[in-house]
Homo-oligomer: A and B are copies of this chain.
Amino acid sequence: MTDPTTPEYAAARDAADPLAGLRDRFLGAETPLVYFDGNSLGRPLRSTADRLERFVREEWGGRLIRGWDEGWFDLPLIIGDDLARVLLGAAPGQTAIGDSTTVLLYKLIRAAADHQVRTDPRRTEIVIDTDNFPTDRYVVEGIAAERGLTVRWIEVDLVAGVTPDLVRAAVGSATGVVVLSQVAYRSSHLADAAAITEIVHDAGGLMLWDLCHSAGSVDVALDAWGADLAVGCSYKYLNGGPGAPAFAYVAARHQDTLAQPIQGWMGHADPFAMGPGYRPAPGMRRFISGTPAVVGMLAMRDMVALVEEAGMTAVRDKARRLTSYAVDLADAWLQPLGVTVGSPRDPARRGGHVTFYHPSMRAVTAALWDQDVLPDYRDAHGLRVGLSPLSTSFEEVRRGMEAVRATLARIGG
């Protein structure tokens, strides 16, 4: 039972998995499909279909406009606080659901960069790494161009990722805000967020963490790190559905001093007075702009509750075990075919996915999709295996990796 490539080994791992029973809560868990892309779009919970249907009939259809008074208005902050408690390591009153990751990045980076320059005109740099997710890089470039600021790029090795040393070398008296992802979208590299945040603070900078690929798969401790700002999406490990709203965290100590640029009625201190002149609400509400996307934020609630039931520690532990198993199988099956592991081999430095490189991976991914095995492809030549901890079994990992091997052997030339 020590050969990881056997079906018996996978079955034994599932039998020993304390979270195995939760997999059936997800739609499609009973099908033979292998889902290696829960880090791009999480599977829906079975309860979500009913929840949406019931919401339309009973709440929207039954309560109509009264729903706003009866809970919808505060939903971005209520779900935000749940998320903060269960997944983000953040005290209440600092997290709100809304907009998209891109729009929230814009609002918070603008708020932070503008504040820094106002306080000290020399702090004109926005620091970001070259391997950050595209939308983070594009938003930062846009803000720098419009505000007359400079982008300072941290050049990173794909697998080694953003290290404290690289950050220390990049920050200083010109640093305004630093924008990094806790888990890198390609390599899965897990940054040392506590150490990096301290380095940024020592240089007088503000630290924004992108949690898109980490919330729900690794430990997040925003308050303990002393993070200033964070954003993340809800359609990956939070299973909020395609294009579900994102979340924003602003540390309480900054809420009264940071001003975000999109000042809308829902961030007003007294929105229904509809009076002249914008007056920002106290606390986290001022970071909300338009009408909350109520229908879009229902699904993630179920997932936050499920993570609370499972316990984030157990979820993180399973993420580690699943990715280690995928690496073990790659060592046995894929390395002989010329595949390299493009993620940290140390599970403590890795998020919930693993990327494998081979020149044929674009074609392999396409061929796998035709067999209902769904990994993601990421340039250049990377096959990304995302292992959403609560919806993925060891048996599924084994079956999927076996399909990768067979497909690569067939077309990998």
A35, closest chain B residue (CB): B64
The reply to whether B49 and A291 form a contact with Cβ atoms under 8 Å apart is no
Query: CB < 8 Å: which of B274, B278, B292, B379 contacts A273?
Result: B379
Pick out which of these stretches binds chain B: A166-174, A242-250, A344-352, A393-401: A242-250
Q: A243-B295, A379-B274 are in contact. Are A135 and B53 (CB under 8 A)?
A: no
The reply to whether B56 and A262 form a contact with Cβ atoms under 8 Å apart is no
A263 at the interface (CB under 8 A from B): yes
CB distance from A136 to the nearest CB of B (A): 9
The reply to whether B242 and A68 form a contact with Cβ atoms under 8 Å apart is yes
Q: How far is the CA of A106 from the CA of B103 in the complex (A)?
A: 11
Instruction: Name the B residues within 8 Å of A61 (CB-CB).
Output: 27-28, 43-44, 49
Instruction: Name the B residues within 8 Å of A374 (CB-CB).
Output: 64-66
A294 at the interface (CB under 8 A from B): yes
Q: A66-B374, A130-B276 are in contact. Are A263 and B293 (CB under 8 A)?
A: no
A72 at the interface (CB under 8 A from B): yes
**A interface residues with partner B (beta carbon < 8 Å):** 27-28, 33, 35, 37, 40-41, 43-44, 48-50, 52-53, 56-57, 60-62, 64-68, 72, 99-103, 105-106, 130, 133-135, 137-139, 141-143, 146, 233, 235, 241-246, 261-266, 268, 271, 273-278, 289-296, 299, 369, 374, 376, 378-379
* 24 A-B pairs (CB sep. < 8 Å): A27-B57, A28-B61, A33-B64, A41-B65, A41-B67, A43-B64, A53-B53, A67-B242, A68-B242, A99-B99, A100-B291, A102-B266, A130-B276, A139-B262, A139-B263, A141-B278, A241-B295, A242-B291, A242-B294, A243-B290, A273-B379, A295-B295, A295-B296, A295-B299
